[in-house]
Structure 1
Amino acid sequence: MNALLSFASNFALGCYALASVLVLLRLLRGPRAQDRVFALDLLYVHAMLVVMVIGLRYQSDRYFELALLIALFGFVSSSAMAKFILRGEVIE
């Protein structure tokens, strides 16, 4: 791995870690339920991006498949939580 790519991946992982900590604070302190749902959705996005950066770093395709699964589960859970907030039930 070249030194520039190593530095860029370390920098990206540090930025995602800092952003995840800030989003976690919003998740815990969010005044409304919508803020908490949005923060949880952002945590899924950050997790997906971290997995993709690690996949680039180790040059493995398995990490990209894992990122796709994280994105899929993140979308489904965000949709379920939004429906629960709107209607009070998930399954009709």
Structure 2
Amino acid sequence: MQKHVIETVLFKLKDGISTEAFLEAAKPSTTYVEGCKGFVARRLSGGAAGQWVETIEWESLEDAQAASAGLPQAEGIGAFLAAVDETSLAMHHTEVQISLR
């Protein structure tokens, strides 16, 4: 049995982007990932120090990679991508070893 994959993205917002504006800009990204093959779950969290963490669970690494490749062309995604400080961006994929709900 193939293990699910967790995509973890760490980032900060560009200067001047409020949490409220970012969350509004994130709405099209939610629509996009929910429609992608292999999507299981997504969480987007941010802290007072400005660090954001996005975790998306996918059925496979291939599904995660395909979704990432298609993201820049997704409808309405521009403001979401423009809000992220690309110099702070770090993404990695890991296999789920234990999952509790």
Q: Looking at CA atoms only, which structure, 1 or 2, has the larger radius of gyration?
A: 1
Q: Same fold (TM over 0.5)?
A: no
Structure with higher RCO (Cα < 8 A, 6+ apart):
2
TM-score normalized by the length of structure 1: 0.30
User: Which is richer in helix?
Assistant: 1
TM-score normalized by the length of structure 2: 0.28
